[in-house]
Amino acid sequence: MTSQAKKTVVLIGLIGLAVLLMVRPALAQESGAEIWGRTCNKCHRAQPVNKYQADEWRAIMRHMALNARLTPAEEEAVTEFLMSVARPVVDASADRSETVALSASGRLPDLVSTDPDMASYVIRYDSLIGMESYKRQCVVCHGAEGEGDGPAAAALKPRPTDLTESELVSEMPDAELLEFLSNGKGAMPGFAKILSKQELSAIVGVLRDLNAVE
Amino acid sequence: MSRTLFVRCVLIVAGGLALVVAPSNVHAQLLKLTGYADLEWTAQETNDPEDEWHNFFDNHHFNLIGIAWVTDDLSGAVEVEYEHAGEEIALEYGYISYTGIPYLRLVGGKFIIPFNRWNKDLHPTFISKMPGRPPVYANVFPSTYSDVGIWASGGAPVGQNGNRVTYDLYVVNGLKGDPDASSFRGLRGNDRERPDRDDNKAVGGRLGFELANASFGVSGYTGDYAKTEDTGVGLGISFVGVDADYHWQGLELRGEFVSASQDLTSGENNDRSGYYLQAAYLTEVDFEPVIRFTAVDFEGREDDAEELGIGFNYYLSASGTVRVAYLFGLEDSEFETDNDKLMTQFVVVF
């Protein structure tokens, strides 16, 4: 192929691009978690979402959105998701006496809620809200059936928990599950900043259903 | 102190004060330092009968990446590469970006050329599934190629399924080099950033389609890389590329094709083409076997090259990976004996 022909190919490509961009399609309705699951893992294994703090994710996402050529809506959704589940900023001056006391009693220290209202919150299962919230935030890792085989699961290390066989889920009281979902633990991020208490407690109900499946 | 120096000092101090006192949301700014590093051990066949296998360690990369978030619309990034234990120090990229226009990201500075996928997106050792560059990206496209210029990029959704069309368009100073030089990658010579180089700019782009489990794209690049000494006529170099990938669970299939045409002073063209095909499967125990086949066709020459790589990756964590691969040189292009290689690599992204 001559240089002239190749220049022609490039020109045709540019014209095609202009035509495509003139047709403004509908915006994607996916959640940030779903977009994160299907885009970030295409090139590399996604880093744990709570590896960085919110501001760090904001900077990183600006760079990565360029690399991945995300749409504006996709970039905004993924950035919002990552910032909401990011590693919290540790306040070294905070009083940790309550956490230490609970740790000494043998309870999981990372599950201690930082929200004083959370402990007294009444769990209300709502299957509609629960399934919708689970679909938008959890399916990407844990899968539609909760078996730890969501679209992003293969690229994650550690692999997402199989919720259907998780003793942690079956043995943990509702209030602790709610705190787990809110604050996270290990590679599992907390969702308190992106989901309401109503949505979180509804997901607890979904986890009970998934865990009860034989 | 001379008057000029005094004026410069005053301007610098005034500029610094202006940055300090100017009304701005300083808390919104952030500089995130990250990067990746690797250690390689390679055993390579040679044509020396007394040293048939040459082996060596290499701290191939210790690259620092700085990402600056300035405002909602302004950002920048820089990657400083320390290659071969610091023997080569260079700016892989350093750009500023404006994103205030929907569906358009404007980038200025030095950036990695978005040609196909391997050159820009897949070449870092923490991403590339197999140690070593596919020969097509050494002998057909001079990877890793970054250049100075302007780059427009973006993506727009198509339908409701998360599909999107992506585009990249750029104008850069372009490749430059000696038409008679044997080193193809030498066309990336550092003097391309100098302001006194030729006036011919290179243009190129990529049009891509991203589906849920797959993506594909077409790329082009064209520009002059030299002039004839007698007539001053520009000598052009052009690339056309196609890339595609498919993902399902832990399976990744990937392939890229590149065709190059280079004008020579003799009036002939130095045409070449090549491709690679790669398959990798990430198992649940973080073990990932990989196979890659690469072929390069130098038109009119008899030293075409083929390489078959078989290896595996083991992920110690999401940030640390051990890679092992045996690369069979199926046809001799440089050595009288086979040019097989055993490569091991430990990579960390931080």
DSSP letter string over B216-242? Answer: EEEEEEEEEEEE-TTT--EEEEEEEEE
| A15 touches B: beta carbon within 8 Å | no
Instruction: Considering only residues B76 and B190, tell me which one the structure prediction assigns the higher pLDDT.
Output: B76
pLDDT(B32) > 80: yes
User: Is residue B60 pLDDT above 70, yes or no?
Assistant: yes
Distance CA(A145)–CA(B96), nearest Å, equals 44
* Secondary structure of residue A211 in the 3-state scheme: helix
Q: How many angstroms separate the CA atoms of A84 and B191, rounded?
A: 45
Q: Express each pLDDT in B93-123 by its tens digit.
A: 999 999 999 999 999 999 999 999 999 999 9
Comparing CB atoms, the residue among B32, B212, B282 nearest residue A155 is B282
State how far the alpha carbon of A65 is from the alpha carbons of A39, A70, A187, B132, B162, in Å.
10, 5, 23, 27, 15
- Rounded alpha-carbon distances, angstroms, from residue B101 to A96, B98, B104, B204, B304: 46, 8, 6, 21, 46
**CA–CA min distance A146, chain B (Å):** 15
The fraction of chain B above a pLDDT of 90, given in percent, is 60
* ipTM topping 0.90: no
A116 has pLDDT over 90: no
* Mean pLDDT in residue range B137-145: 92
The percentage of residues in chain B with a pLDDT greater than 70, rounded to a whole number, is 86
Q: Is B104 in contact with A17 (CB distance < 8 Å)?
A: no
Say whether B97 and A66 touch across the interface (CB within 8 A): yes
- What mean pLDDT do residues B231-238 have? 87
Q: How far lies B181's CA from each of A107, B76, B190, in Å? A: 70, 35, 15
> Is A169 in contact with A163 (CB distance < 8 Å)?
yes
Q: Which of A91-95, B18-22, B104-108 has the highest mean pLDDT?
A: B104-108
Label residue A186 by pLDDT band (50, 70, 90): confident
Cα separation, A83 vs B179, in Å, equals: 51
Residue with the bigger pLDDT between A121 and B26: it is A121
> How far, in Å, CA of B277 to CA of B286, rounded?
22
Least confident of A53-57, B21-25, B69-73, B108-112: B21-25
Beta partners for residue B104, in sequence order: B101
Residue B121 is nearest to which of A43, A47, A60, comparing CB atoms? A43
Provide, as residue numbers in chain A, all residues whose Cβ is less than 8 Å from the Cβ of B155. Answer: 68-71, 74
The gap from C-alpha B152 to its chain's centroid, in whole angstroms, comes to 17
Q: What are phi and psi of B191, to 5 degrees?
A: -75, 0
Task: Pick the more confident residue, B275 or A2.
Answer: B275
| pLDDT tens digits along A193-208 | 888 888 898 899 898 8
Cα A168–chain centre separation: 20
Across B266-278, average pLDDT = 91
Residue A183 near residue A111 (C-beta atoms within 8 A)? yes
User: How much is the pLDDT for A86?
Assistant: 84
Q: Are B204 and B115 in contact (CB under 8 A)?
A: yes
- Among B336, B285, B292, which Cα is nearest to B131's? B292
Residue B162, helix vs strand vs coil: coil
Kindly indicate the confidence band of residue A98, based on its pLDDT and cuts at 50, 70 and 90: very low
CA distance B318 to chain A (A): 5
Selected residue of B164, B169, B201 to mutate for chain A interface (largest A Cβ count, 10 A): B164
Question: A7: nearest CA in chain B?
Answer: B222
pLDDT at B4: 62
Note the pTM of the prediction, 2 decimals: 0.79
Contact B287, B307 (CB under 8 A): no
> Quick check: A169 pLDDT over 70?
yes
d(CA B109, CA A76): 25
* pLDDT grade for B335, boundaries at 50, 70 and 90: very low
Q: How far is CA A48 from CA A69, B1, B271, in A?
A: 21, 55, 45
Contact criterion met (CB below 8 Å) for A84 and A191: yes
Between residues B317 and B332, the one the model is more confident about: B317
Residues within 8 A of B (CB atoms), A 17-76 only:
17, 20-21, 24-30, 34-35, 38-39, 41-48, 51-52, 55-56, 58-60, 62-63, 65-74
**Residue A64 confidence (pLDDT) above 50:** yes
Count CB atoms within 10 A of the CB of residue A91: 8
Token readout for A172 is 């943990």
CA distance A169 to chain B (A): 22
